Chain A
Amino acid sequence: MILRNLICIVALFGMTFLVLPLAVLVGASLTTSEFLAFPPQGLTLKWYAVIFSNPTYVASFLTSTWLAASATLIAILLAVPAALAVSRYDFPGKGAFSAFLLSPLVLPHLVLGAALLQFGGSIGLTRNFWALLVGHVVIVTPFVLRTVLPLLSREQQAMEEASRDLGADGVTTFFLVTLPQIRSGLVAGAIFAFITSFINVELSIFNTTAELNTIPVQLFNYVQYSVDPSIAAVSSATIVAAAVAIILIDLTVGLDFLTTNDD
């Protein structure tokens, strides 16, 4: 009993610690003052008006969203076959192959960004959307791979065999058995991938320009010269967008698997 209460208290404390900065951020975005202030002095939405009427912010917000969505989609298309290959087949260099696929998880993004810029420079792929996309695909693919691989277990393979045994060819088996089985991993991996791409600064910074910018790089550049409540408004808008996205995912595919593990 005491232990349970203790756990509750610790959990509440942890939640508060995580949520408080967000509350501060949202609060600060509503201030009427010309500087960041918490608690807000008066309530206004003018800073939101400022950013949404600023075409560079809107453009970078769209760039970031489009970039993160494309990178996530490509990551899924790459990671699923790769995961199937790694878990189903023995081939020479398999260990090295999976280590290679997961290596962006341990490489500093700044190093990766510099390397990609060098390489991109030599083939003329720099400072455009495609250059950004290539880098982001590299860093987010491991997330999808990581969440899908554990679901391709021995038991899961037996189900695929059962499907073939019952007369389903490879493609049918993939869509009717494999995909539903790895769905939870795909969704979790996709969320991680999207967020990782959306908030990335270190990698993007090498390939962004004044015309083509992502939201985090834009903010990063902005706060170097001035700090006013508009950056809090940008961050809050991002938080709200993220919350909406999560709720939409929950309503469509469901997120129960993140908290329960009974199937």
Chain B
Amino acid sequence: MALLSIEGVSKSFGSHQALKDVSLNVEAGEFVSLLGPSGCGKTTLLRLIAGFLTADRGTIRIDGEDITNVPAHRRPLNTVFQNYALFPHMSVQDNVAYGPRRSGAGRVEAAERASEALSLVGLGQMGDRYPRQLSGGQQQRVALARAIVNRPKLLLLDEPLSALDLQLRRRMQVELKQLQEKLGVAFVFVTHDQEEAMAMSDRISVLSEGRIQQVGNGAEIYRRPANRFVAEFIGEANLLSIDSAHGFEIVFAPADQSTNRLGVVRPEHVRILREGDTAALSENDVRITAEVAAVASIGGTTDIHCTSLGYEIVARRLGLSDGGFKPGDKVTLVIAGDDIHIIESERS
């Protein structure tokens, strides 16, 4: 039985439908990310799970128990809020002890548990300070300590790292993941940073316009996107209309001719050869003749933008070398047949 099970949940604000028939299961100890563009309903879903909103339709269960109408303070889970929502009038120690106190622990026991939680997040010495005397990263840790002090089985986190600078963020990603594994607590983790989701999650749930588009681990979602939205949202993709496909014999249709299937090809799967260079071709390769339009080096990779059949196709090479390709060069693009992922094209 899943730890958290969401079935057919919908939620509207006035005439705006923020969530449409959302279903999702989270297993005990699992790290699930909710990933999607701004306004897609991630926070809304999290608030429904936490009990700050009530669903218009559908049920939410924890350990098999229907909690759809249970008020927030009786739900067996905790939340790390986006801007931490620490109590400014309480010391760090009292902030963290708040949870144990409410669940019936005495002053002494609550203090002990708070200290323990604080040292778990590396803030053992900060108990006497007030939240405003801490840096953003430290406040983040207090929020985390406060949320785990009652040892919930399920922790909800709404973009907990978004206010931190890049370096600290990377470090916190690692720490957060370690803590999650150490405590064996399940995470539902909202983010709109796909690298973060990829790096941390067991599974990613991609949302768009209030619907779950796909649920799977990072590799699945990247390699086999369920639809055009996921293909374009996760990583970068060349999308080519498919005219016909028999096994690996795939023929692409020109860009202006829409067909009912699309081939998704990641830039790093496009090899680029000079025209006439047939040296390393295999049977399953699909070949496209093209012309180089632009060459751009970013970070450790070089993107070669080519035009063919009215598409702009990007081939990505590792390293800064552009391989001597110049705009105007005639080239052959080679894509291995099993690097072409075929989806139904619902748009166009």
Cα distance, A259 to B237, chains bound together (Å): 57
A33 interface residue per 8 A CB criterion:
no
**B83 located at the interface, meaning its Cβ lies under 8 Å from any Cβ of chain A in the complex:** yes
Within the complex, what minimum Cβ distance (angstroms) separates B81 from chain A?
Answer: 6
Known: A165-B73, A165-B78. A155 touches B83 (CB 8 A): yes
Interface size band for B: 20 to 34
Chain B hits for A181, CB < 8 A: 88-89
Chain A residues contacting B87 (CB-CB under 8 Å) are: 159, 162-163, 177
Give complex CA distance A89, B44 in Å: 17
A166 touches B102 (CB 8 A): yes
Q: Are B72 and A161 in contact (CB under 8 A)?
A: yes
Whether a CB of chain B sits under 8 angstroms from the CB of A211 is no
Given A164-B72, A165-B50, A166-B146, A263:B132 Cβ within 8 A: yes
Q: Chain A: residues with CB nearer than 8 A to chain B?
A: 155, 158-159, 161-169, 172, 176-177, 180-181, 262-263
Q: Considering the complex of A and B, which 9 residue pairs feature the smallest CB-CB distances, nearest first? A: A167-B102, A158-B85, A166-B99, A162-B85, A164-B72, A180-B89, A164-B73, A165-B79, A168-B102
How far in angstroms is the closest Cβ of chain A from B301?
A: 40
Helix, strand, loop or mixed for chain A's interface? helix
B85 touches A167 (CB 8 A): no
Complex Cα distance, B155 from A166, in Å, reads: 12
Select A161's contact among B81, B102, B132, beta carbons within 8 Å.
B81
Residues of B within 8 A of A (CB): 50-52, 71-74, 78-79, 81, 83, 85-89, 98-99, 102-103, 132, 146-147, 150
Contact: B102 with A263, CB < 8 Å? Answer: no
The contact sample of 18 A-B pairs, CB cut-off 8 A, is A155-B83, A158-B81, A161-B72, A161-B85, A162-B79, A165-B72, A165-B78, A166-B73, A166-B98, A166-B146, A167-B99, A169-B73, A176-B98, A181-B88, A262-B132, A263-B88, A263-B89, A263-B132
With a cutoff of 8 Å between Cβ atoms, the chain B residues found around residue A159 in the complex are 85-87
- Output the least CB separation between A171 and chain B (Å): 11
B83 touches A158 (CB 8 A): yes
Shortest beta-carbon distance, A142 to chain B, in Å? Answer: 26
Nearest residue (CB) in B for A166 is B99
With a cutoff of 8 Å between Cβ atoms, the chain A residues found around residue B71 in the complex are: 164, 169
Q: Are B102 and A172 touching (Cβ within 8 A)?
A: yes
What is the minimal beta-carbon distance from A1 to any residue of chain B, in angstroms?
32
Which single residue of chain B is at the shortest CB-CB distance from A181?
Answer: B89
Which residues of B are found within 8 Å of A177, using beta-carbon distances?
A: 87
Q: Is there contact, CB below 8 Å, between B52 and A163? A: no
Residue of B nearest to A158 (CB): B85
Which residue on A lies nearest to B103, using beta carbons? A167
Q: Write the nearest CB–CB distance from A36 to chain B, whole angstroms.
A: 49
Chain A: CB-nearest residue to B156: A165
Q: Which residue of B lies closest to A155 (CB)?
A: B83
List A contacts of B89 (CB < 8 A).
Answer: 180-181, 263
- Bound: A162/B146 CA distance, A: 10
User: Which residues does chain B contribute within 8 Å of A263, judged by CB atoms?
Assistant: 88-89, 132
Closest Cβ–Cβ distance, residue B143 to chain A (whole Å): 8
Q: How far is the CA of A263 from the CA of B85 in the complex (A)?
A: 14
- The answer for the CA separation of A161 and B50 in the assembled complex, in Å, is 9
Tell me the smallest distance from the CB of A226 to a CB of chain B, in Å. 53
CA distance A163 to B73 in the complex (A): 8
- Known A262-B132, A263-B88, A263-B132; contact A162-B81, beta-carbon cutoff 8 A: yes
